[in-house]
Amino acid sequence: MNTTRRTVLKGATASGVLAGLIAAGALRPTQVLASEWNKAAFEAKDTAGALKGIGAAAPADSKDLVLKVPDIAENGAVVPVDVVSNIPKTTSIAILVEKNPSPLCAQFEFSNGALPEASARIKMGQTSMVKAVAKADGKFYTAQKEVKVTVGGCGG
Partner 1 sequence: MADPMKIRAQLKGDVAEIRVLMSHAMETGQRKDAAGATVPAHFIQSMTIDVGGKRVVDGQVGGSVSRNPVFGFKMKGAKAGDKVVVSWIDNKGEKRTDEAAVA
Nearest-approach distance from CB 37 to partner 1, in angstroms: 4
Contacts with partner 1 in 37-66 (CB under 8 A)? 37-38, 42
Contacts with partner 1 in 90-129 (CB under 8 A)? 97, 100-102, 104-115, 117-124
Let me know: does 56 contact 143? Beta carbons within 8 Å: no
Nearest-approach distance from CB 156 to partner 1, in angstroms: 21
CB neighbours (10 Å) of residue 144? 18
Among 82, 87, 129, 150, binds partner 1 (CB under 8 A): 82
Q: Is 16 left (phi over 0), alpha (psi -120 to 50) or beta?
A: alpha
Q: Which is nearer to partner 1, 12 or 18 (CB)?
A: 18
Residue 97 φ then ψ, to 5° = -120, 115
List CB contacts of 101: < 8 A, sequence separation 6 or more: 45, 125
Nearest-approach distance from CB 132 to partner 1, in angstroms: 14
Stretch that binds partner 1, among 34-42, 62-70, 132-140, 141-149 (CB under 8 A): 34-42
* Interstrand relation of 90-97 and 128-136 (parallel, antiparallel or unpaired): antiparallel
**Distance separating alpha carbons of residues 143 and 69, to the nearest angstrom:** 11
Give the residues lining the site for partner 1 (CB under 8 A). Answer: 31-32, 34-35, 37-38, 42, 77-79, 82, 97, 100-102, 104-115, 117-124
